[in-house]
Amino acid sequence: MSARLPQPNRLESGGIINRDRPVIFTFDRRVYQGFEGDSLASALLANGVKLFGRSFKYHRPRGILGAGPEEPNALVEVDHGPAERDPNHRATMLEIYEGLETFSQNHFGPLGMDVMEVNDLISRFLPAGFYYKTFFFGGLQAWYRLYEPIIRRAAGLGRPPLAADPHHYEKIYTHADTLIVGGGIAGLTTALSLAKAGQSVVVCEERDRMGGSALWQGETFDGQSGADYVNHLCAEIEAAGGRVLPRTTVFGVYDAGTFGAVERCHDHLAKADRRPHTARMKYHRIQARNIVYATGAIERSVGFKGNDRPGVMLASAGHTFLGKYGVRVGERATVFTTHDGGYGTAAALAQAGAAVTVLDARAEANVVIDGVTVIKGVYAKQAHGRMGLRRVDYDGASNGSLDTDSLLVAGGWNPAVHLTSHTTDRRQSKPVYDPEMLAFLPPELVETEAAAGSVTGAMSTADCLTSAQAAGKKLGGKAVALPTVASALPVSKPMEMWAVPGAGDAAFLDMQNDATVKDIKLSAQEGFKSVEHMKRYTTLGMATDQGKTANVTGLALLAAATGRDIAQVGTTTFRPPYTPIPVGALAGHHRQRDYEPFRYSPIHAWAEANGATFMEAGLWMRPAYYTRPGDKTWLDSAVRETKATRDSLGITDVSTLGKIDIQGPDAAEFLNRLYTNGWKTLPVGKARYGLMLREDGLVFDDGTTSRLADNHFYMTTTTAHAAGVMAHMEFMHQSAWPDLRVAFGSVTDQWGGLALAGPQARACLAKLFPDLDVTNDGLPFMGVLETQWNGFTARIFRISFSGELAYEVAVPADVFEAFWLEALRVGAEWDITPYGLEALNIMRIEKGHVTGAELDGRVSMDDVGLGKMVSTKKDFVGRAMSQRAAFADPDRAKMVGLVAAKPDDKIIGGGILFASADGPFDHTTMLGYVTSVAQYSPLKDRSIALAFIKNASDWHGKTLYVVSHVHGKSIMEVHAESPHFYDPKNEKVMS
């Protein structure tokens, strides 16, 4: 424990801070001491700090306005290094801890001398809409050179962190019968009533502890202090199985009883006290049948000149600092009130030893407090003191000036109805204005909702408790005995005074956005009379605080300026989130490496250990190439692998292909309807290449499907479309053909697969399966055999993607690595060479086989040269639409092969095809585009490509030019030919 340092504004007793636990922290590099339980605001106020930051637009010096989440002014940065720089913490919500380092924001130069304060001096030239109007002058050049750089520098609140967030965030589902938002005395009482009736309840309180105003108002409950009574309530709720979550903000109400909440688990703890690997924040997705809005009310200020001076704050804030934190915000305090409630604050301050004067806007007010001077029928006209309040002028029934160091404004209460308007769509109603209470109240609530406490408009603690009892009853709670409240707090409805007579500029409504009374009048004058237009024109209510202290006053003034009732003007729509929440909390663990899961082949570890470089294919990690001694580049590896395969024997992992097992008496009929070609005549033990269309006639996917038995098929899909094909099959079966007797499931993860390719593939296969007849007669092209390998099922398919004599062999995934190693051992005789996707790509381009690069969702069967694969005797998905006239248009681009004219040229993927090297190279002369490129083809000894071009076959043998507009418009000469460069007669695969 460190020594106690003097804290000039801290009282010797009172509050619920722990004076035995001093806490050292810094603000703008100066060291201060507060106590455990302090907020940054209370601790700095205790130390006599008044200036907390600068305003956004005019850079006016600002202090503290509120004491809770509504605070618009005192935004600070917490800075513990580049990755942990976290801007826009409300000083009123930030709990201090040992070692906390904080900084004020939004100023250029020291906080006390901000060069941008010039904006304040010229503020009458910077009215609402200034930016919209001004930037018309000077045109675009002026925008780029002059305005934009200035705005960019001046815009934004705080500085972002400079490195990735090192914290840990969690998402959890939280279930309850009833969610209670707000852990004040009303919320807790409602929760207890419901918990006692057997409901599971969760109470979320956004502040550091439960209790709300009971913690500072100085009332007693059955003789107990507010803090003690709150502890007693919480203990009872927990004993009845309920949960209370402090530091948890319910930020959104969504459909069907879904609520979003963020619990702050770490931000109040010293670094040493944060348990490693635990979450900084938890995002609760709460699912609850009922909701209780016990969100309280937010006090509002009154518009008068200088009402933003440091030292002017809400009466409830001054009262909170006194009651909760033992901090007296001033020695010579002035309370400006429009209702009896201000007197409670005045009395508390007087009792704490301050000299207090009350300016009561009402001519006839009759609250009398010992030792407090009351001036009736007057209002605060202007507050003076740029860096800290010194004097306040008042006017009205009398006028004069008071020397004062703190001005506490009690302008009335705005029930925190925000959450009740998040589901406006469902309820079809918005918060309603009550002209008696001068406040917006929650709309009529549905049967699963209730409201309790001051959000209902209840003013006294006793009324709040009664409303809590009613809320509990509505949702099926048990009656709870209400405590006897001993209160010395007078309450009354406020007098209507949104701004004082004559208020205009420098009478601030929205402190964070510097929107003034004058701006509202200007907005109305310029025709922005809808509340939504006014909001956007003046920016009132648009910053991080979303105008919690400002909105209602703004629209009341708009109503006055346009001669309407406040009810007619209505509110803007409140939307989630209620307060800003870090994106990290929403992302949870879904970031960086954990953003999506990875899928690995059964031989991934082997590939990693054997020089593979991987590429992502959807969620899969697939070997792109294997680096061997002598390979200088990836292309060296790919070309070496290609040559080895073409000359002798290659092996590749095809485990990632989608595999779907299809069974049932109607399995063949099902395939007939999914594929363009026919399947009923496919014999058992044979495979067939199949093409699927989308219902609009464009190509969807391709693959090979084998018949293992009469009613049993094994389908493969492309790696990329595996999930989509599965969902498509399920959709067609369930929505269109539920009568088909067929069942199917994905077996992608159940089978591992390898391909043996090259002239020695048969010899290798024969060695792997010595008892099997794998001759051309025993296992002809497109033949399928099911056999055993070491007691495990093995399926052998004689199919080829590479263009070589090839076999694909599938074995159960858990023995696949063993099988792969055995193939390598056996194949060593022929220098078996593992190849990756890059070599496969070279080989399939040489062969003219299409992949996703060609089947991009825009091509028809004809476009890719597969138009003959249509059975006209049957219906299939896409049949009708594939007959559209446009698909027969000869101008449609079709597939063509390209060969670079010069040996060293590398054709550029995505390049555009033109007939002439002279240009122009634009859409008027464009003929086609390149889809797939082999940077080097051993077959052609240069770069080749697949492309799409109009009148494709006419171009065979002719010269074209590839231009890439994103690669410096280089012009490359190429020769067009059939896309089937390699073995066009399929002699090798059939051999």
CB of 420 to other proteins, least distance (A): 16
Considering the complex, state which of residue 717 and residue 937 has its C-beta at the smaller distance from other proteins: 717
Q: Is 695 in the site for other proteins (CB under 8 A)?
A: yes
Residue 883 or residue 970: which is nearer to other proteins going by CB? Answer: 883
- Which run of H or of E encompasses 461? helix 461-474
Given 426, 680, 825, 956, the residue binding other proteins (CB under 8 A): 426
Closest CA to 743 of 718, 722, 713, 770: 713
By three-state DSSP, how is residue 701 classified? strand
Nearer to other proteins, 484 or 734 (CB): 734
Cβ proximity of 750 and 799 under 8 Å = no
What are the tokens at 8?
Answer: 């000039």
3-class secondary-structure state, position 410: strand
Is the link from the previous residue into 920 a cis peptide, with omega within 30 of 0? yes
Smallest distance, other proteins to C-beta of residue 248, A: 21
Map the footprint of other proteins across residues 646-685, applying CB under 8 A: 673
Among 697, 783, 911, 938, binds other proteins (CB under 8 A): 697
Least distance (Å) between residue 428 CB and other proteins? 7
Q: x/- binding map, residues 893-932, to other proteins, per CB under 8 A?
A: ----------------------------------------
Q: Cβ closer to other proteins: 168 or 289?
A: 289
Among 270, 736, 743, 888, binds other proteins (CB under 8 A): 736
CB 173 to other proteins: min, Å: 9
CB of residue 157 vs other proteins: minimum separation in angstroms? 32
The contact pattern for other proteins, residues 858-887, with x = CB under 8 A and - = no contact, is ----------------xx---xxx-xxx--
Minimum distance between the CB of residue 577 and other proteins, rounded to whole angstroms? 18
Residue 364 within binding range of other proteins, rule CB under 8 A: no
H or E element, residue 566: helix 566-569
Picking from 555, 610, 536, 544, the residue whose alpha carbon sits closest to that of residue 580 is: 544
32, 96 contact by CB (below 8 A):
no
Measured CA to CA, the distance from residue 717 to residue 751 in angstroms comes to 14
Tokens of 421: 């308007």
Q: Which residues pair with 249 in a beta bridge?
A: 262
Listed ranges 5-13, 188-196, 423-431, 839-847: which one lies at the site for other proteins (CB under 8 A): 423-431
In whole angstroms, the minimum distance from the beta carbon of 140 to other proteins comes to: 39
Number of other CB atoms surrounding residue 824 within 10 Å = 17
Instruction: Mark 232-271 with x for binding to other proteins (rule: CB under 8 A) and - for no binding.
Output: ----------------------xxxxx-------------
Cα radius of gyration rounded to whole Å, the chain: 38
Q: Cα separation of 711 and 295, whole Å?
A: 63
Closest CA to 804 of 836, 849, 838: 849
Instruction: Confirm or reject binding of residue 155 to other proteins (CB under 8 A).
Output: no
Q: Which is nearer to other proteins, 127 or 618 (CB)?
A: 618
Measured CA to CA, the distance from residue 132 to residue 169 in angstroms comes to 40
425 binds other proteins (CB under 8 A): yes
By DSSP bridging, strand 439-441 and strand 432-434 are antiparallel
**In angstroms, what is the minimal distance from the CB of 879 to other proteins?**
6
Q: How far is the CB of 696 from other proteins (least distance, A)?
A: 6
Q: Is 618 left (phi over 0), alpha (psi -120 to 50) or beta?
A: left
CB atoms within 10 A of CB 599: 18
CB of 171 to other proteins, least distance (A): 11
Site for other proteins in 160-219 (CB under 8 A): none
Residue closer to other proteins by CB (options 745, 903) is 745
Contact 564, 531 (CB under 8 A): no
Of 685 and 724, the one with the shorter C-beta distance to other proteins is: 724
- Count of residues engaged in binding other proteins, rule: CB under 8 A: 30
Residue 300 in contact with other proteins, rule: CB under 8 A: no
* Smallest gap from residue 732 Cβ to other proteins (A): 8
Distance CA 494, CA 574 (A): 25
Among 148, 565, 594, 730, binds other proteins (CB under 8 A): 730
Q: Which is nearer to other proteins, 202 or 237 (CB)?
A: 202
Task: Report d(CA 712, CA 743) in Å as an integer.
Answer: 10
Chain position carrying tokens 């000469």:
973
215 and 16 Cβ atoms separated by less than 8 Å: yes
> Closer CB to other proteins, residue 875 or residue 918?
875
Smallest separation (angstroms) from other proteins to the CB of 667: 17
* CB-CB neighbours of 921 under 10 Å: 18
The minimum distance between CB 287 and other proteins, in angstroms, equals: 8
CB of 877 to other proteins, least distance (A): 9
Query: Closest Cα partner for 126 from 513, 388, 555?
Result: 513
Binding mask 19-58 for other proteins (x = CB under 8 A): ----------------------------------------
Token pair of 989 as six digits = 């695969």
Query: Smallest Cα–Cα separation from 262: which of 581, 584, 546?
Result: 581
| CB of residue 319 to other proteins, shortest distance in Å | 41
Half-sphere exposure of 460 (CA within 13 A, CB side): 13
Given a contact cutoff of 8 angstroms between Cβ atoms, the answer to whether 197 and 224 are in contact is no
User: Measured in whole angstroms, how far is the alpha carbon of residue 818 from the centre of its chain?
Assistant: 44
738 binds other proteins (CB under 8 A): yes
Residue 521-550 contact track with other proteins, rule CB under 8 A, x = bound: ------------------------------
Q: Which is nearer to other proteins, 236 or 669 (CB)?
A: 669
In angstroms, the CA 29 to CA 27 distance is: 5
For the chain, the 3-state helix, strand and coil shares in percent, each to the nearest 5, are: 25, 30, 45
Which range binds other proteins by CB under 8 A, 112-120, 305-313, 330-338, 693-701?
Answer: 693-701
26 or 287: CB nearest other proteins: 287
Q: Segment near other proteins (CB under 8 A), from 36-44, 730-738, 793-801, 892-900?
A: 730-738
What is the nearest approach in angstroms of other proteins to the Cβ of residue 969? 39
| Both tokens assigned to 305 | 């000149």
- According to the binding rule CB under 8 A, does residue 734 interact with other proteins? yes
Beta bridge partners of 715: 660, 705
Which residues are CB-contacts of 242 (< 8 A; sequence separation ≥ 6)?
A: 191, 192, 194, 195, 200, 201, 202, 203
Q: Which residue in the set 567, 605, 727, 917 belongs to the binding site for other proteins (CB under 8 A)?
A: 727
Beta-carbon count within 10 A of 347 CB = 23
Name the minimum Å distance from CB 565 to other proteins: 28
Looking at the Cβ atoms of 5 and 880, the one nearer to other proteins is 880
Q: Cα 193 vs. chain centroid, distance in angstroms?
A: 36
Rule CB under 8 A: which residues touch other proteins? 254-258, 287, 425-426, 428, 673, 695-697, 727, 730-736, 738, 874-875, 879-881, 883-885
